[in-house]
A and B are shown apart, each in its own frame.
Chain A
Amino acid sequence: MTPPVRPRGMRLAARQALWAYAFLAAPMAFFLTIRLAPAAAALIISLHRWNILSPEKPFVGLANFREVWTDPLFWQAAGNTLRYAVVGIPAQLAGGLVVALLLQRITRFRGLFRAIYFLPFVTPIVAASWVWQWLYSPQFGPLTRILDALGLPTQAFLRSPHEALYAITAMVVWEYLGFQVVIFLAGLQAIPRVYYEAAAMDGADGLRAFRHITLPLLNPTLVFSVVYGTILYLQLFTQVLNMTFGDPGGPLGATETMVLYVYQQGFQHFRMGPAASATVLLFGAILLITFVQLRVFQTRVEY
């Protein structure tokens, strides 16, 4: 009696799955122990009152959430964080894409330009912040000189509760421009030249090639850039802390961000409970936004 023959397709599928789990074993172990378990600890801390210095951690239910929810600074931080994202992400993506496309069009000095645009990204943040604060100085900065030359009124920039946030956003976009350019360059390289050649032969080039070849085939890169850019801006912290070190969060909380709020609660006021609650709320918000984004982008053509 011949043994039953299992369809070859199923064996392949099972084999693939086994290999997949084998490949993922170490990474999953890593993410579970190094990232998720501590994050779960944060979730648990949010339900307790815990001063970082104290061994006591009494359970307080949702008291921390209530406290954070009714803290005007928390909402200011939330609003600011959204503002940073809404202004910064499009600027960063547009700037990065334009520079990447231009870099592809030129033939000389490419390496030099690429290095120059990447310089902000390698500049340590402490040094960059100090220079940018001087740049913005209403007394001594070059920006003020330019405003003077154009006959425009002096701006307070970092000392203005209305302008400070945008002043810092400009610096963050400057810093990440090189990062974005590199991502887009990698993405543009992945588009086979044959497509452009074929399109050119059909008479479609320039803007039409951009809309019908570049943009669709850049989709995975764009998806990554938007999603990662969002996560980046929603967690903005180091730049703000360094630019407003003497008064973190800017004049009267005008530049406060969510992660800065978390840091201040946990590491300056030593109140880990509210810090953890704010982290949980931030996590929830980012999760929601990311999945909306992925859903929106999923409907487009995936290469």
Chain B
Amino acid sequence: MAARRAGAAWSYLVLASGSVVVVYPFLWMIATALKTPREIFELHFWPHAPTLANFHDVLLHSQFPRWFGNSLLVALVTTASVAFFDSLTGYTLAKLRFPGRGVIFTVILSTLMIPTEMLVIPWYTMSAWFGWIDTYWGIMFPGLMSAFGVFLMRQFMTGVPDELLDAGRIDGVSEFGLFTRIALPLVRPALAALCIFTFLGNWNAFLWPLVVVQTSDMRTLPVGIALFSGEAGSAWHLIMAASALGALPVLAVFVLLQRQIIEGIVLSGLRS
């Protein structure tokens, strides 16, 4: 028992020390957001006279609320789409048997290996053709499904016991029902993780939203924050304030979904 407690104490210690290192840069960001532009280069960590002026300027004197709203809409829709399609695809590739399964998985996996930068021009040409430029659909469409998600879900879906699915089939559950009612609940941790990562990836995307958006109303958050940098330098006090505010939704998504990851499903009495 004492060993267990000593072990736990060590755990706290290591985690706490690690936390300091890990959180230091983030604190620096917050500290900078609370300083006046002049104070930033006085090179001390905490602001001597913290001010909320930067947050005020960002929220009221820039189009931040608009950028925030655009990013939120795009991120939520793509996350919902990815959550559904990627898990369905992962389930199919892991649990159903059909000719070409290996090939299809290979093909989808291989799309992960092509950096997005090279796809931006074809996407733009496509968008121009279909009239998607400067629209929410235009920003969203490349991110509606992801090979990353398919790969992740497939890995976790392999852990779903086949016996459960067979039992379901015998009970007359439809194939789609097997997916939604049996398999999906068992991979909740992975699905929650996927939602967090997809939301974050979309939230921070820069190159594609830059290319496909023309008018100022349609800018997403990273593109908007980039406006604080110019030929005559960057307004770091505003960039930090906007970045801090911009990190909040992702943090919120994480806090909301992390319990799903932690409180996974306990499989009881399921030995075949």
| A contacts B directly (C-beta below 8 A) | yes
The interface-forming segment of B17-25, B51-59, B60-68 is B17-25
Give the residue of B11, B226, B266 whose beta carbon is less than 8 angstroms from that of A102: B11
Inter-subunit contact B158/A303 (CB<8 Å) = yes
In this complex, the interface size class of chain B, counting residues with CB under 8 Å from chain A, is 35 or more
Q: Which of B113, B204, B222 sits near A287, CB closer than 8 Å? A: B113
B194-208 at interface with A (beta carbon < 8 Å) = 196-197, 200, 204, 206
Q: Given contacts A23-B92, A52-B121, A132-B25, is CB(A186)–CB(B264) below 8 Å?
A: yes
Chain B CB within 8 A of A302 CB: yes
Q: Please measure, in the bound complex, the distance between the C-alpha atom of A127 and the C-alpha atom of B121, giving whole angstroms.
A: 27
Contact partner of B119 (CB less than 8 A), chosen from A35, A177, A183, is A35
For A228, what are the chain B residues with a Cβ–Cβ distance below 8 Å? 112, 148, 151-152
Assess the B25–A131 pair: CB atoms within 8 A: yes
Residues of B contacting A164 with CB < 8 Å? Answer: none
B206-248, CB < 8 A from A: 206, 222, 225-226, 236, 239-240, 243-244, 246-247
Q: Which residue of A lies closest to B251 (CB)?
A: A122
Selected from A24, A122, A290, the residue in CB contact (under 8 A) with B113 is: A290
* B262 CB–A CB distance under 8 Å: yes
Residue interface mask A106-143, B partner, CB < 8 A = 1: 11011101111111111111111011101100001010
Partner of B22, one of A119, A190, A224, A283: A119
Q: Which residues of B contact A189 (CB under 8 A)?
A: 189, 261-265
Give the size of the chain A interface in residues (CB under 8 angstroms): 96
Q: Is B123 an interface residue when CB atoms closer than 8 A count as contact?
A: yes
Q: Which residue of A lies closest to B142 (CB)?
A: A34
Is A282 an interface position by the 8 A CB rule?
Answer: yes
Interface membership of chain B positions 86-119, coded 1 if the CB is closer than 8 angstroms to chain A and 0 otherwise: 0011011000111101001001111111110111
Contact A20 B98 (CB under 8 A): yes
A23 CA / B135 CA spacing, docked (Å): 28
Answer whether A116 and B189 are a contact pair too, CB < 8 Å, given A31-B111, A106-B11, A237-B115.
no
A272: which B residues are within 8 A, CB to CB?
121
B2 within 8 Å of A by Cβ?
Answer: no
CB neighbours of B122 from chain A (8 A): 37-38, 41-42
Known A-B contacts A113-B19, A263-B117; A126 and B108 likewise in contact (beta carbons under 8 Å): no
Q: Which listed residue, B89, B193, B239, touches A127 by the CB 8 Å rule?
A: B239
B residues whose Cβ falls under 8 Å from a Cβ of A = 7-8, 11-12, 14-15, 18-19, 21-26, 28-29, 32, 43, 85, 88-89, 91-92, 96-99, 101, 104, 107-115, 117-119, 121-123, 141-142, 144-145, 147-148, 150-152, 155-156, 158-159, 169, 175-176, 179, 187, 189-190, 192-193, 196-197, 200, 204, 206, 222, 225-226, 236, 239-240, 243-244, 246-247, 250-251, 254-255, 258, 261-268, 270
Contacts A287-B113, A303-B158 known; 11 new A-B pairs at CB < 8 A: A17-B96, A27-B85, A31-B145, A35-B114, A110-B262, A114-B258, A120-B25, A122-B250, A131-B28, A192-B266, A283-B114
